[in-house]
């Protein structure tokens, strides 16, 4: 057999970045990236079933892919316990190479796509769920209209997780809550969203043009469980901690809006997140008289990387739209 390795329909001979001595041999079954992706997710999640759910595959299909890998390498890759799955020593070794191979494949696809005059390939973007739902839909729609050949792949997580993915090269561009500090990243402020009190139209505070923090503290409060807004609430309600009535802690912005609309409490929310509910008359947003709170978003990407055209086109579009819409409190980009 010729020294080298095969992945899908590609055979690479006698070469591997930073590991030229590594030679992999395959038998009747040929390893593909689908198997590697499944292997990586099982290792990260510690569960065959959770990996299958994330990848939209049945557990038998996931198990079959792992068996194929174990047959190819001739080693057991996982120790299966009652409640968890752990990598064996051989599995830990393969995991390092699997992550590099999957990342290299993504880089190669983007590099080839970048040779075209019009952006195509994949836009690998990271952002939190609320940003994708309430801030970016119009941008995504315009971008897709301009570049229909580009597939938009979104990594959805908290801002600090998105920053990690941008730093390690898994994601090309991130949209995160500012401030964010990293010497390896270029950061552009693109959007400033006012944080306001959200109440039911039936709440007595709904009649006011503005409200003070001490008046909010007397209301039953619905807090987000985590995230930037929760950090603001914990910080600015600290002086009123003894009198706070936190009736709910929820993980979903959508759930918070529904329960506030139903009159179960009040909450603080970024203005753009509740735009549709305000128009429908389901909730009312009230400025805070004695405190100005803002949520600022920024574009982030690696300083030392040449981004694919799909990413540079997205960055250009976002910055143009930010500069053209001062009524949305989007600061002009330098």
Q: What per-residue confidence (pLDDT) applies to 31? A: 60
The whole-model pTM stands at 0.62
| 132-136: Cβ within 8 A, 24+ apart | 132/156, 133/253, 133/254, 133/273, 134/253, 134/270, 134/272, 134/273, 134/275, 135/175, 135/191, 135/193, 135/272, 135/297, 136/175
Architecture in CATH for domain 118-190+299-327? 3-Layer(aba) Sandwich (3.40)
**How far is CA 147 from each of CA 37, 311, 313, rounded to the nearest angstrom?**
27, 11, 9
**Domain locations in the chain?**
5-112, 118-190+299-327, 192-294
Fold that domain 5-112 belongs to in CATH: Arc Repressor Mutant, subunit A (1.10.10)
CB 228 within 8 A of CB 295: yes
**Torsion angle (degrees, nearest 10) of CA 182, 185, 186, 190:** -70
For every one of its 334 residues, what pLDDT tens digit does the chain have, with 9 covering 90 and above? 444 444 443 333 333 444 333 334 333 445 688 899 999 999 999 999 999 998 988 989 999 999 999 998 999 999 988 788 999 999 999 999 999 898 888 778 777 766 666 787 889 999 988 888 888 888 999 999 999 989 999 999 989 999 999 998 889 999 999 988 888 999 999 888 899 999 999 999 999 999 999 999 999 999 998 888 888 889 999 999 888 999 999 988 999 999 999 999 999 999 999 999 999 999 999 999 998 889 899 999 999 888 888 999 999 999 888 887 644 443 333 3
| Bridging pattern class, strands 121-127 and 150-156 | parallel
Q: What per-residue confidence (pLDDT) applies to 17? A: 43
* Burial state string for 53-66 with b = 16 or more CB within 10 A and e = fewer than 16: eebebeeeebbebb
| Angle in degrees, 0-180, between the axes of helices 89-113 and 59-73, rounded to the nearest 10 | 100
Q: Which residues pair with 85 in a beta bridge?
A: 80
Q: What per-residue confidence (pLDDT) applies to 29? A: 47
Q: Does domain 192-294 have CATH number 3.40.190.10?
A: yes
77 CA to centre of own chain: 29
d(CA 159, CA 251): 15
Identical fold for domains 118-190+299-327 and 192-294, yes or no, is yes
């Amino acid at each position: 057999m010729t020294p080298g390795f095969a992945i899908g329909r590609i055979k690479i001979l006698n070469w591997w970045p930073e590991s030229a001595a590594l030679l992999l041999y395959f038998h009747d079954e040929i390893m593909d990236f689908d198997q590697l992706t499944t292997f990586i997710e099982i290792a990260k999640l510690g569960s065959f079933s959770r990996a299958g759910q994330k990848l939209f595959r049945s557990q038998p299909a996931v198990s079959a892919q792992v068996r194929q890998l174990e047959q190819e390498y001739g080693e057991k890759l996982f120790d299966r316990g009652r409640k968890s799955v752990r990598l064996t020593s051989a599995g830990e070794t393969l995991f390092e190479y699997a992550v590099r191979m999957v990342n290299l494949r993504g880089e190669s696809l983007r590099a080839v796509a970048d040779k075209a005059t019009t952006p195509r390939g994949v836009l690998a973007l990271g952002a939190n769920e609320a940003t994708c739902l309430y801030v970016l839909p119009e941008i995504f729609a315009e971008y897709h209209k301009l570049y229909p050949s580009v597939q938009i792949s979104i990594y959805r997580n908290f801002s600090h997780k998105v920053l990690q993915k941008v730093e390690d090269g898994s994601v090309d561009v991130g949209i995160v809550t500012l401030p964010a500090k990293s010497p390896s990243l270029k950061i552009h402020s693109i959007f400033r969203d006012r944080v306001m009190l959200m109440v039911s139209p039936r709440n007595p505070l709904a009649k006011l043009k503005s409200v003070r923090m001490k008046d909010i503290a007397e209301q039953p409060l619905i807090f987000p469980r985590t995230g930037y807004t929760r950090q603001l609430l914990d910080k600015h309600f600290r002086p009123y901690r003894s009198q706070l009535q936190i009736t709910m802690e929820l993980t979903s912005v959508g759930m918070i809006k529904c329960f506030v609309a139903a009159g179960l409490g009040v909450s603080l929310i970024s203005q753009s997140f509740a735009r549709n509910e305000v128009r429908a008359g389901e909730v009312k947003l009230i400025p805070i008289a004695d405190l100005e709170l803002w949520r600022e978003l920024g574009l982030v990407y690696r300083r030392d990387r040449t981004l694919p055209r799909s990413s540079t086109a997205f960055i250009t579009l976002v910055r143009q739209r930010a500069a053209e819409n001062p009524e949305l409190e989007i600061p002009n980009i330098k």
